[in-house]
A and B are shown apart, each in its own frame.
Chain A
Amino acid sequence: METMTGAELMVRLLERQGITHLAGIPGGAILPFYDALAQRGTIQHILARHEQGAGFIAQGMARVTGQAAVCVASSGPGATNLLTAIADAHLDSIPLVAITGQVPLAMVGTDAFQEVDVYGMSIPITKHNFLVRSAAELLEVIPQAFRLAQSGRPGPVLVDVPKDVQNQKISFEHWPEPGVREPGPEISLPAIEQAAALINEAERPVLYLGGGVVASGAAPLAVALAEQASMPTVMTLMGLGAMPVDHPLSLGMLGMHGARYANFAVQESDLLVVVGARLDDRAVGKASAFAPNAKIVHIDIDRAEFGKIKTPYLAVHADVKAALAALLPRVRPQMRKRWLAHVAALKARYPLAMPGRDDVRQHYGLIAAVAEALDDSAVVVTDVGQHQMWAAQAYPLRRPRQWLTSGGLGTMGFGLPAAIGAALAEPQRTVVLFTGDGSIKMNIQELATLAELQANVKIVLMDNRSLGLVYQQQNLFYGKRVIASRYGHGVDFVTVALGFGVPAFDLDGVADPKAALTEALTTPGPVFIRCPIDAEAFVYPMVPPGAANTEMIEA
């Protein structure tokens, strides 16, 4: 017979889930849990400087490992501060378990100090959520939270635990089994056979890889399928890394800021094999004009994605890894010389222009120089904005889970804490963060967390004193009426970073920027590199919002 408090039970159940790190900030309503953490001494707590930072630190851990990670906050503002990171995990299907303290049960609903209905608030941004009403419920809820977060299409689960439930004593006979990922749905072999036949018969097939390929560990199988069937392959922002960008069949990213040849190849395809993707508007553009001549084979673990944006010719409900494994032996090897030659011609005719690629003081050159200094073991994290799209276009991503970016929610401020989480989870890797001066300010307090942890995070700040993508849209689509997208006051980021205790320098001030960059990137520990870039540099090509992917604007 085991007897303990709800708080100790929570910690012990987290231990049993294999949790070694968790990120959070304490406060009144979660203090019993923190006390149990202190008494157990088994889990390393990462003290973030803002709860949103804690949420993204946990996301960084989850994104590099594929395992559910945990963030913790107190009730009220602590809990509301977590919500953006939870919503971000929801849109990018990241397994996250968020634990919040709540006012004591007897006070719930009385507008008690630091009371908010985080259960109600988190309903639309979680896979599932719990308000725990007794310590005994924790025995079921905690393992179930992990099972739900990691099963099927992964996502965030919130567990709200009132303070008095944390303090409640409980006795029980048996420990519950830890919550693990459940097997995917049973595959329909007729559907797989039909998908194989469609691929075998197609003349101009394109393979379309999304984040689900990364999430299910199916990247090698996806590359094998592309090679066996000679299918040119596009990736979504979340799918980058599934196939090495310099693979002969890779067309890189499609969509709003994808290469024109990638969008044209999709446009001309007669079969589009969509794997682990949800046909997001940034990838698809105007849905009614997308891939007009293609039969769509949609393979996904989430049935609700079938027909949500485009009606598939064939839907295969499956874990994509299992589906691809079943598909491979049924797909006939072929060369497809005509189609591949045509795609090669598209590539030659509509190349992805990267002006300044050789100049480290320009955006593409900076990204190329960073990539040159690092190898494929590095993790590449971005914030949100122009720098993110340039990195997506130009960084030679070659392995799944190499690329961490806020895709669906597009959360500025994602980058720094996510990079810290990645570096904590995989300390043997170098983590490089591309960020912008707009984004970095949205979670800049986490520089203190970074300095404290001395994690191996290299921050490359592209500073154009602008909200660059907004400035770009105002210039391109709003008659150059620029408002609220230029910062009137510049920040001395090097001094700020130094003030937080992170070594920092300005690339503008060094004689040999490439050498300085290489040295900074290959010296262990955190570093902050501020790189001024041209505010008039825009991300091209660009599909205007709401337009078809064939209506791309060039520089």
Chain B
Amino acid sequence: MIEQVAEPLPTSGFEKTVLELEVNNHPGVMSHIVGLFARRAFNVEGILCMPLPDGTVSRIWLLVFADQRLEQLIKQLEKLVDVRSVRQHGADHEVFVQAERFFR
């Protein structure tokens, strides 16, 4: 038999990327989203979330490593009923750059 043996987990070498999600604003949405990352052992480096002015929709910013599974993950995010849109940005997006001063 070809034994199915786990490979060591990749630890580095991937570019960071920023995801921008618009989601319905109600309890439970965040756990639907982070659950998708957690079960794939996909580390979320940064999260920022605030409701948009009218209160029914929230915007979530995620800072993640862009490994080869990211495309599949984005498709799974787009399937979530409460996720209205997903956009991908470069790691240099100012949202986390500006937030950095709160993490010193």
Other-chain residue from A129, A476, A547 in contact with B2 (beta carbon distance below 8 A): A547
Q: Does B46 make an interface contact (CB < 8 A)? A: no
Please tell me if the beta carbons of A120 and B31 are within 8 angstroms of each other in the complex.
yes
Distance of A377 Cα from B83 Cα, bound (Å): 43
Check: A302 CB closer than 8 A to any chain B CB. Answer: yes
Instruction: Find out whether the CB atom of A476 lies under 8 angstroms from the CB atom of B72.
Output: no
Q: Which of B10-18, B73-81, B87-95 contacts A (4 or more CB under 8 A)?
A: B73-81
- Given that A127-B81, A307-B71 are known contacts, is A546 also in contact with B28, CB under 8 Å in the complex? no
Evaluate contact between A544 and B2: CB separation under 8 angstroms. Answer: yes
Whole-angstrom CA separation of A546 from B5 in the bound complex: 10
Contacts of B71 in A (CB 8 A): 307
- The answer on a CB contact under 8 Å between B3 and A148 is no
Is B53 part of the binding interface, using a Cβ–Cβ cutoff of 8 Å?
Answer: no
**How many residues belonging to B are interface residues under a CB distance threshold of 8 Å?**
19
5 cross-chain pairs, A with B, having the tightest CB-CB distances, nearest first:
A304-B75, A477-B1, A546-B2, A128-B81, A544-B1
Q: A339 an interface residue at 8 Å Cβ cutoff?
A: no
Option from A123, A127, A308, A547 in Cβ contact (under 8 Å) with B72:
A308
Whose C-beta in chain A lies nearest to the C-beta of B75? A304
Nearest-CB distance from B87 to chain A (Å)? 16
- Chain B min CB distance to A93 (Å): 13
The answer to whether A123 touches B32, judged by C-beta atoms less than 8 angstroms apart, is yes
Interface residues, chain A, with chain B CB atoms under 8 Å away: 119-120, 123-124, 127-129, 131, 148, 286, 302-304, 306-308, 476-477, 544-547
- Provide 19 A-B residue pairs closer than 8 Å at the C-beta atoms, listed in order of the A residue: A120-B31, A123-B28, A123-B32, A124-B35, A124-B39, A128-B82, A129-B28, A131-B27, A131-B28, A148-B81, A307-B71, A476-B1, A545-B1, A545-B4, A546-B1, A546-B2, A546-B3, A546-B4, A547-B2
CA distance A306 to B35 in the complex (A): 22
Which residues in B have their C-beta under 8 angstroms from that of A304?
A: 72, 75-76, 78-79
A304 CA to B79 CA, complexed, in Å: 8
* Contact B79 A302, beta carbon cutoff 8 Å: yes
Alpha-carbon distance A50/B23, docked complex (angstroms): 37
Q: Mark B22-65, 1 if CB is under 8 A from A, else 0.
A: 00000110011001000100000000000000000000000000
* Given contact pairs A148-B81, A544-B2, a sample of 7 additional A-B residue pairs in the complex whose CB atoms are under 8 Å apart: A123-B28, A123-B35, A128-B81, A131-B28, A304-B78, A476-B1, A546-B2
Chain B residues positioned under 8 Å from A148 (CB to CB): 81
Query: With A120-B31, A547-B2 given, is the CB distance from A303 to B39 under 8 Å?
Result: no
Interface SS of chain A: helix, strand, loop or mixed?
mixed
CB closest residue in chain A, given B71: A307
Query: Chain A contacts of B75 at CB under 8 A?
Result: 303-304, 306
Among residues of B, the one whose C-beta sits closest to the C-beta of A285 is B2
**Closest CB in chain A relative to B32 CB, distance in Å:** 6
Q: Which residues of B contact A120 (CB under 8 A)?
A: 31
Query: Which B residues are in CB contact (< 8 Å) with A477?
Result: 1
Looking across the interface, which residue of chain B has its beta carbon closest to that of A120? B31
Q: Which residue of A lies closest to B33 (CB)?
A: A123
Give the docked Cα–Cα distance between A507 and B28 (Å).
54
Q: How far is the CA of A376 from the CA of B26 in the complex (A)?
A: 49
Contacts of B81 in A (CB 8 A): 127-128, 148
**Complexed CA–CA distance, A266 and B71 (Å):** 27
- Look across to chain B and name the residue whose beta carbon is closest to the beta carbon of A478: B1
Whether A547 lies near B76 (C-beta < 8 A) is no
Q: Could you tell me if B1 and A547 are in contact, using CB atoms closer than 8 angstroms?
A: yes
Q: What's the nearest-Cβ distance from chain B to residue A310, in Å?
A: 12
Chain A, residue nearest B35 (CB): A123
Tell me the complex Cα distance, A131–B26, Å: 11
Shortest A128–chain B CB gap in Å is 4
Contact B31–A123 (Cβ < 8 Å): yes
Chain B: CB-nearest residue to A544:
B1
In this complex, the member of B39, B75, B80 whose beta carbon has the largest number of chain A beta carbons within 10 angstroms is B75
A547 to B1, CA, bound (A): 8
**Chain A hits for B80, CB < 8 A:** 128
Whole-angstrom distance between the Cβ of A69 and the nearest chain B Cβ? 20
Chain A residues in 8 Å Cβ range of B3: 546
A154 to nearest B CB, angstroms?
Answer: 13
C-alpha spacing A239/B69, complex, angstroms: 28
Residues of A within 8 A of B76 (CB): 304
Q: Which residue of B lies closest to A119 (CB)?
A: B28
Tell me which residues across on chain B come within 8 A of A129, comparing CB atoms: 28
Cα A176 to Cα B25 with chains together (Å) = 23
